Structure 1
Amino acid sequence: MALTILSSCINCDMCEPECPNQAIVMGAEIYEINPDKCTECVGHYDTPQCVAACPIDCVVPDPQHEESLAQLADKFVMLTS
């Protein structure tokens, strides 16, 4: 499943540079994750780098974009080919 950033985001700028897919952008008020680009770092890293970088734990799974590991891997292939 893609990830999302909660409204408790403090805009610390830690997550955006860590995303290998450039899925994180500054929104109107807080950072946002584009679910079409988010692979939870599958294909790049063992764990989502934005989750690891977030100092307040506001990056969480997005229940509106549930995806299997295979779907995330297919998305990685599509984004990198």
Structure 2
Amino acid sequence: MKVLLDQDKCVASGQCVTAADTVFDQRDEDGIAVLLMDDIGPEREAEVRQAAAVCPVLAIKLQG
């Protein structure tokens, strides 16, 4: 499954990192989310779906 992150929408809330810290991190300078991996296996799917659900601006999308 592919993870897409729209950094232009991100408001640096950190909810994605809380939900899936193996997939998301935040830049030190402004807190904008970054992907640590964009292709995830089934073992991480639930946590990434949770991250997408709690993102306040819906900046995370899943494909596949």
The TM-score, its normalising length taken from structure 1, stands at 0.55
How far is 1:34 from its partner? 1.8
The residue number in structure 2 matching 1:33 is 35
Structure 2: runs of 5+ lacking an equivalent? none
- The higher radius of gyration belongs to 1
* Identity value in percent: 15
List, as ranges, runs of 4+ consecutive aligned residues in structure 1 with deviation greater than 3 Å: none
* Pair 5,46 (structure 1): closer, same or farther in 2 beyond 3 Å: closer
Work out whether residues 16 and 54 of structure 2, in 8 Å CA contact, stay in contact via their aligned partners in 1: yes
Aligned length: 60
* Pair 11,35 (structure 1): closer, same or farther in 2 beyond 3 Å: same
Which is richer in strand? Answer: 2
State the structure with bigger RCO (CA 8 A, min sep 6), 1 or 2: 2
The TM-score, its normalising length taken from structure 2, stands at 0.66
Q: C-alpha separation between the residues in 2 aligned to 1:14 and 1:46? A: 11
CA offsets 1:23-67 (integer angstroms, 9 cap, x no match): 21113541011226x527x225287121111111110247xxxxx
Structure 1: runs of 5+ lacking an equivalent? 63-67, 69-81
